[in-house]
Amino acid sequence: SQQGEEDPQALSIQEGENATMNCSYKTSINNLQWYRQNSGRGLVHLILIRSNEREKHSGRLRVTLDTSKKSSSLLITASRAADTASYFCATDKPGTASKLTFGTGTRLQVTL
């Protein structure tokens, strides 16, 4: 079963614009992670935010976490064509021996 659902399912923006995608999940978590997947490739880890953190930055990425609403957002600033990919959130639930459960993904298209 999918723990998280990303919103929107698809997003198309122009290079230089910001892209925001959201993730909602159902149960309490230890952490929430974001991954990127280029077409036909494996997933690459982008950023991990702990359940006791509210915001985290890494380069052009900004992640927020609201555990009261069971939601997270990923912001990519100044997007580039190379950011075109699918983005997935994944959650670690407490007491599940590091079981990592993925959401449904957001397909981001960045055009020149």
Partner 1 sequence: EAGVAQSPRYKIIEKRQSVAFWCNPISGHATLYWYQQILGQGPKLLIQFQNNGVVDDSQLPKDRFSAERLKGVDSTLKIQPAKLEDSAVYLCASRHPLRGTFGTEAFFGQGTRLTVV
Total binding residues toward partner 1, as defined by CB under 8 A? 30
- Is 84 a binding residue for partner 1 by CB under 8 A? The answer is no
- Is 98 a binding residue for partner 1 by CB under 8 A? The answer is yes
- Is 43 a binding residue for partner 1 by CB under 8 A? The answer is yes
Amino acid at 32: L
Contacts of 10 (CB under 8 A, 6+ apart): 106, 107, 108, 109
- Is 97 a binding residue for partner 1 by CB under 8 A? The answer is yes
Binding region for partner 1 (CB under 8 A) out of 12-20, 45-53, 58-66, 74-82: 45-53
Name the residue with tokens 């075109």. Answer: 84
Residues that bind partner 1 (CB under 8 A): 1-2, 4, 30-31, 33, 35, 40-45, 48, 50-52, 88, 90, 92, 96-105
